[in-house]
C-alpha cells in the first residue's frame, strides 16, 4: 500500500512539475503581432521587431529605467519587485519595476520570413466590393510616410512638465472635466490611470480637437472632433487609444515616450486576436496615431543607423496594418458612420500620395469605384470661376484635366467665401473631404498621363498645369502649415515638365504661365533652406530665371508693381486672403517686383532650417515642423 501511494504521489508530482512549463509556453506564444497587408492581410510581425524598436534607449544607451537619476545604488536585480495594487483592472497597464528594464534588450531583426508563422484572416477581405479587397492589390502600395496632415499631433508651443516617476505613482483623481460638459469617471475607462495620466489625456482632448482640420480656421468642427475623441476614450477597448494619445502628448514635454508606445502596441496586438475588435473604429484610430508618430520620428535627423532601420520596420508594420484594417472593413466608404475617422484617414492618404507621387493607400469611392463630385453639392458657379476657366480653355488643356480644374474652380470659389465668412454649402468635414478628393483626381490624372506618354511630355502644358495646381491646392487648404520637404517631389517634376514646353505654347494665356511659375516658386521657397544646392536653392533659382524670361517675352522689361501682378493672378485660381501677401513677399524677394511696402518682411513661407528628407517620410517632417516646434529647438 505504501509503495502504491508512493507511486501515485510520484506520478502526481511529475504531472504537477509539467504544468508550469506548459503555462510558460502559452504565455510566450502571445507574440507582438501586427497585420501586414503585403501578404493579403494575413500576416503578422513577431515581437522581436517591435519590442527591440521600442526599447531603443536600452539598446543604445543603458539599461532602461523609470528611476530618476541619483547617486544611490539600485536594488539587486534578484530582489523581488514591489507588490502591485490589486485594485487595477485587467485592462490596466502593469507596474514596472524601476530597477529592471520594461522588456528584453534585443537587436532589430528585419528578417520578415518569420512573420509567416502568425496569421489572422478576415472573411471580409476576400469578398469585399471595395477597391481595397484582396482582389484589388493595385491599391496596396507600400508608401509609408502624416497629419498636417495627421489628426493626432501636438500643438505648436505646447509645454507640459512631467515627472515620469510620478506619472505612475500619483493617486487617482475622481474625474476628468472637459469644456464641452463631458464628465468622465475613471471607473468608466477601459484601464486605470494616475492623476498625471488623466491630466495628459485631458490635454490631448483639449489641444487637438480645435485644430484637427487645417481647412477649418473657424473651428466649426471642434464639437464633432471632440465627440469623436471622447467616444474613442470611452470605448470598452480604448486602452491602446489612451496609451497612444498619452504617447503623443507626452512627446511635447520631451519625456521618453517608449513606455506608453510599447503599451499601446501591446494592447493593439491583443485586440487583433478578436475578429470583432481587430477592425473596430477605435483600433483603427489607434494605429493611425501610432503611424503618425512613427512618421514624425523617421523625419527626425537625429534618428540614424540601426535606430532608423528599426523605425522603418515599425512604420511599415503600422502602415500595412492600417491598410489591412481598412480593407477588411470594406474600404473607407464602410467608415461612413464615423465621419471624423474617415476624413482623417483620407487626408493622410492623399497627403502622402501628393508627397511621394505614388498611389494612395486609401481612397473614398462608392461600390463602382466612382468618387463623389463636388459639383453635386456646391453653390452655382460664380462669374470669377467662369472667367478663370477661359484661360485654361484658351490653352487647349486636355478635356479630362479641364473637367477637374472646372470642379476645382468651383471649390475654390466656395472655399474663398468659407475663409472670409464661415459660410459654405457643406460643413467643414465635407470641405476637407472634397479638398482631398480633388487633389487625388489631380494626382490620378498626372499618374495616368505619365504612364501613357512614357515620360514624353514635350509641347504639352497639361502636366505643368496639373502639378502647379497640386501645389496650389496644398497651400490654400493648409494655409498655416510648414511643409518641409513635402513639396520637393512635385516641385522637381514641375521643373522638368516646364523644360519640355516651349514658351510659345503659353501665348494664348500668358497669365496662366505666370501663375504656374508663381506656384512653382512658392513650392521651391517652402523647401528646407539647409538643403543642397542641387535641390531647394537650385529649384528656387531656376523658377526665378524662368519667371524673368516669361515676363520679358510678355513685354515687361522693368520691375513691376506687385499690385499689377496680383490683378493678373486673380484671373487664375486664387484665394486673396491666403495668397496676396505671401506672393507679394515672394516677388519682392526674388527681385521681380519693386518693394512698395516697406514693412514687408522677408519671405515668411520660406523653408525652415531642416534637411531634405526622403520623400517617403517628408510628410512626417511636415508634422514635426508644424507641431513639434519645441522639440526642434533642441536639434543642433
Task: Give the confidence band of 616 by pLDDT, cuts at 50, 70, 90.
Answer: confident
Q: Tens digit of pLDDT for each residue in 325-379?
A: 999 999 999 999 999 999 999 999 999 999 999 999 999 998 888 999 999 998 7
Same-domain status, 391 and 531: yes
- Which of these ranges, 47-51, 295-299, 323-327, 467-471, has the smallest mean pLDDT? 47-51
Rounded to whole angstroms, how far apart are CA atoms 390 and 383? 11
User: Are the CB atoms for 521 and 547 separated by under 8 Å?
Assistant: yes
- Give the three cell numbers for residue 152: 493626432
- Which of these ranges, 142-151, 253-262, 263-272, has the smallest mean pLDDT? 142-151
Rounded to whole angstroms, how far apart are CA atoms 287 and 320? 10
Does any domain span residue 553? yes
Task: Please report the pLDDT score of residue 557 as a whole number.
Answer: 64
Same-domain status, 310 and 420: no
Q: What is the dihedral of CA 32, 33, 34, 39, to 10 degrees?
A: 140
What does the pLDDT average to over 546-554? 82
Picking from 435, 413, 344, 282, the residue whose alpha carbon sits closest to that of residue 151 is 344
Rounded to whole angstroms, how far apart are CA atoms 33 and 343? 27
pLDDT above 90 coverage of the chain, percent: 41
Task: Give the confidence band of 612 by pLDDT, cuts at 50, 70, 90.
Answer: low
Say whether pLDDT at 279 is over 60. yes
This prediction's pTM: 0.73
Does any domain span residue 522? yes
What does the pLDDT average to over 419-445? 96
Same-domain status, 411 and 516: yes
Task: Give the confidence band of 254 by pLDDT, cuts at 50, 70, 90.
Answer: low
Q: Tens digit of pLDDT for each residue in 145-201?
A: 322 233 333 333 333 333 333 333 333 333 444 444 455 555 678 888 888 888 889
Say whether pLDDT at 221 is over 80. yes
Task: Give the confidence band of 529 by pLDDT, cuts at 50, 70, 90.
Answer: low
Say whether pLDDT at 609 is over 90. no
Say whether pLDDT at 47 is over 90. no
Which residues lie below 8 Å from residue 164, measured CB to CB, with a gap of 6+?
Answer: 66, 68, 255, 256
Same-domain status, 419 and 347: no
Distances (CA, A) of 563 to 42, 398, 604: 59, 31, 19
For residues 74 and 313, which has the higher predicted lDDT (pLDDT)? 313
For residues 86 and 576, which has the higher predicted lDDT (pLDDT)? 576
Same-domain status, 423 and 535: yes
End-to-end distance of the chain based on CA atoms, in angstroms?
81
SS3 state of residue 507? coil
Taken in order 594, 600, 605, 608, the sign of the CA dihedral is: positive
Same-domain status, 402 and 342: no
Mean predicted lDDT score pLDDT of the chain: 72
Domain count, the chain: 2
Say whether pLDDT at 44 is over 50. no
Task: Please report the pLDDT score of residue 457 as a whole number.
Answer: 52
Q: Tens digit of pLDDT for each residue in 106-138?
A: 334 433 322 232 223 333 333 233 322 333 333
Rounded to whole angstroms, how far apart are CA atoms 123 and 621? 37
pLDDT above 70 coverage of the chain, percent: 61
Same-domain status, 384 and 308: no
Task: Please report the pLDDT score of residue 400 as a whole number.
Answer: 96
Same-domain status, 493 and 392: yes
Task: Please report the pLDDT score of residue 240 as a whole number.
Answer: 96
Task: Please report the pLDDT score of residue 623 as a whole number.
Answer: 61
Taken in order 239, 241, 245, 247, the sign of the CA dihedral is: positive
Does any domain span residue 310? yes
Rounded to whole angstroms, how far apart are CA atoms 159 and 168? 20
Task: Please report the pLDDT score of residue 3 as a whole number.
Answer: 53
Rounded to whole angstroms, how far apart are CA atoms 376 and 380? 10
Task: Please report the pLDDT score of residue 145 as a whole number.
Answer: 30
Does any domain span residue 454? yes
Rounded to whole angstroms, how far apart are CA atoms 549 and 501? 14
Say whether pLDDT at 86 is over 80. no
Task: Give the confidence band of 509 by pLDDT, cuts at 50, 70, 90.
Answer: very high
Does any domain span residue 525? yes
Q: What residues make up the domain containing 533?
A: 378-619
Does any domain span residue 477? yes
Distance, CA of 627 to chain centre: 12
Picking from 134, 477, 517, the residue whose alpha carbon sits closest to that of residue 327 is 134
Task: Give the confidence band of 526 by pLDDT, cuts at 50, 70, 90.
Answer: confident
Say whether pLDDT at 27 is over 70. no
Does any domain span residue 453? yes
Does any domain span residue 410? yes
What does the pLDDT average to over 542-568? 82
Same-domain status, 511 and 576: yes
> Residues of 319-341 as b/e, b for ≥16 C-beta within 10 angstroms?
bbbbbbbbbbbbbbbbbeebbbb
Q: How many CA atoms lie within 13 A of 534 on its CB side?
A: 0
Rounded to whole angstroms, how far apart are CA atoms 329 and 317? 18
Picking from 606, 482, 632, 630, the residue whose alpha carbon sits closest to that of residue 156 is 630
Task: Give the confidence band of 610 by pLDDT, cuts at 50, 70, 90.
Answer: low
Same-domain status, 614 and 529: yes
Say whether pLDDT at 552 is over 50. yes
Rounded to whole angstroms, how far apart are CA atoms 296 and 566? 36
Rounded to whole angstroms, how far apart are CA atoms 288 and 244? 10
Task: Please report the pLDDT score of residue 253 as a whole number.
Answer: 65
Same-domain status, 508 and 436: yes
Same-domain status, 441 and 552: yes
- Which of these ranges, 90-99, 115-124, 424-433, 439-448, has the smallest mean pLDDT? 115-124
Task: Please report the pLDDT score of residue 478 as a whole number.
Answer: 92
What does the pLDDT average to over 291-316? 88
Highest mean pLDDT among 146-150, 381-385, 467-471: 467-471
Task: Please report the pLDDT score of residue 399 as a whole number.
Answer: 94
Say whether pLDDT at 535 is over 80. no
Sole residue written with cell 471642434: 222
Amino acid at each position: 500500500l505504501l509503495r502504491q501511494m508512493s507511486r501515485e504521489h510520484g506520478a502526481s508530482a511529475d504531472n504537477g512539475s509539467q504544468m508550469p512549463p506548459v503555462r510558460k509556453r502559452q504565455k510566450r506564444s502571445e507574440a507582438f503581432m501586427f497585420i501586414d497587408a503585403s501578404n493579403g492581410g494575413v500576416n503578422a510581425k513577431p515581437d522581436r521587431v517591435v519590442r527591440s524598436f521600442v526599447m531603443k534607449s536600452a539598446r543604445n544607451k543603458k539599461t532602461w529605467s523609470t528611476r530618476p537619476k541619483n547617486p544611490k545604488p539600485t536594488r539587486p536585480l534578484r530582489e523581488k519587485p514591489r507588490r502591485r495594487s490589486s485594485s487595477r483592472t485587467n485592462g490596466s497597464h502593469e507596474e514596472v519595476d524601476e530597477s529592471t528594464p520594461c522588456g528584453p534588450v534585443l537587436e532589430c531583426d528585419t528578417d520578415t520570413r518569420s512573420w509567416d508563422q502568425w496569421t489572422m484572416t478576415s472573411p471580409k477581405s476576400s469578398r469585399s466590393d471595395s477597391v481595397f479587397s484582396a482582389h484589388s492589390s493595385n491599391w496596396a502600395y507600400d508608401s509609408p510616410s502624416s497629419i498636417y496632415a495627421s489628426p493626432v499631433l501636438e500643438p505648436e508651443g505646447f509645454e507640459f512638465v512631467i515627472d515620469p516617476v510620478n506619472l505612475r505613482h500619483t493617486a487617482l483623481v475622481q474625474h476628468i472635466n472637459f469644456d464641452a460638459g463631458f464628465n468622465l469617471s475613471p471607473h468608466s475607462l477601459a484601464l486605470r490611470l494616475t492623476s498625471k495620466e488623466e491630466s495628459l489625456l485631458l490635454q490631448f482632448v483639449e489641444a487637438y480637437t480645435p485644430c484637427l482640420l487645417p481647412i477649418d480656421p473657424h473651428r466649426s468642427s471642434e464639437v464633432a472632433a471632440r465627440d469623436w475623441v471622447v467616444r474613442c476614450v470611452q470605448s470598452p477597448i480604448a486602452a491602446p487609444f489612451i496609451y497612444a494619445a498619452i504617447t503623443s502628448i507626452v512627446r511635447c514635454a520631451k519625456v521618453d515616450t517608449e513606455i506608453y508606445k510599447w503599451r499601446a502596441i501591446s494592447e493593439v496586438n491583443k485586440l487583433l486576436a478578436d475578429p470583432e475588435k481587430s477592425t473596430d473604429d477605435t483600433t483603427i484610430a489607434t494605429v493611425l496615431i501610432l503611424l503618425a508618430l512613427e512618421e514624425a520620428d523617421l523625419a527626425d535627423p537625429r534618428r540614424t543607423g540601426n535606430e532608423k532601420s528599426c523605425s522603418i520596420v515599425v512604420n511599415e508594420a503600422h502602415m500595412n496594418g492600417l491598410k489591412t484594417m481598412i480593407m477588411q472593413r470594406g474600404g473607407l466608404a464602410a467608415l461612413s458612420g464615423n465621419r471624423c475617422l474617415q476624413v482623417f484617414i483620407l487626408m493622410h492618404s492623399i497627403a502622402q500620395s501628393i508627397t511621394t507621387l505614388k498611389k494612395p493607400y486609401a481612397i473614398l469611392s462608392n461600390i463602382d469605384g466612382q468618387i463623389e463630385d463636388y459639383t453635386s453639392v456646391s453653390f452655382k458657379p460664380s462669374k470669377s470661376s467662369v472667367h478663370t476657366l477661359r484661360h485654361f480653355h484658351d490653352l487647349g488643356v486636355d478635356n479630362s484635366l479641364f473637367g477637374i480644374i472646372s470642379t476645382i474652380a468651383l471649390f475654390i470659389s466656395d472655399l474663398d467665401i468659407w475663409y472670409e465668412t464661415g459660410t459654405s454649402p457643406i460643413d467643414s468635414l465635407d470641405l476637407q473631404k472634397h479638398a482631398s478628393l480633388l487633389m487625388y483626381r489631380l494626382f490620378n490624372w498626372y499618374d495616368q498621363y505619365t504612364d501613357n506618354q512614357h515620360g514624353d511630355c514635350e509641347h504639352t502644358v497639361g502636366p505643368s498645369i496639373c502639378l502647379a495646381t497640386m501645389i496650389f491646392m496644398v497651400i490654400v487648404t493648409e494655409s498655416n502649415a510648414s511643409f518641409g520637404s513635402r513639396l520637393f517631389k512635385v516641385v522637381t517634376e514641375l521643373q522638368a515638365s516646364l523644360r519640355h514646353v516651349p514658351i510659345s505654347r503659353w501665348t494664348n494665356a500668358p497669365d496662366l504661365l505666370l501663375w504656374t511659375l508663381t506656384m512653382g516658386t512658392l513650392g521651391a521657397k517652402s523647401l528646407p533652406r539647409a538643403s543642397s544646392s542641387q535641390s531647394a536653392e537650385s529649384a528656387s533659382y531656376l523658377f526665378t530665371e524662368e519667371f524673368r524670361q516669361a515676363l520679358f517675352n510678355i513685354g515687361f522689361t522693368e520691375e513691376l508693381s506687385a499690385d499689377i501682378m496680383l490683378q493678373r493672378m486673380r484671373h487664375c485660381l486664387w484665394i486673396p486672403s491666403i495668397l496676396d501677401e505671401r506672393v507679394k513677399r515672394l516677388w519682392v524677394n526674388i527681385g521681380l517686383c519693386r518693394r512698395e511696402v516697406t514693412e514687408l518682411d522677408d519671405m515668411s513661407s520660406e523653408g525652415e532650417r531642416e534637411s531634405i528628407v526622403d520623400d517617403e517620410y517628408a510628410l512626417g517632417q511636415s508634422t514635426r515642423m508644424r507641431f513639434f516646434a519645441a522639440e526642434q529647438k533642441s536639434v543642433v
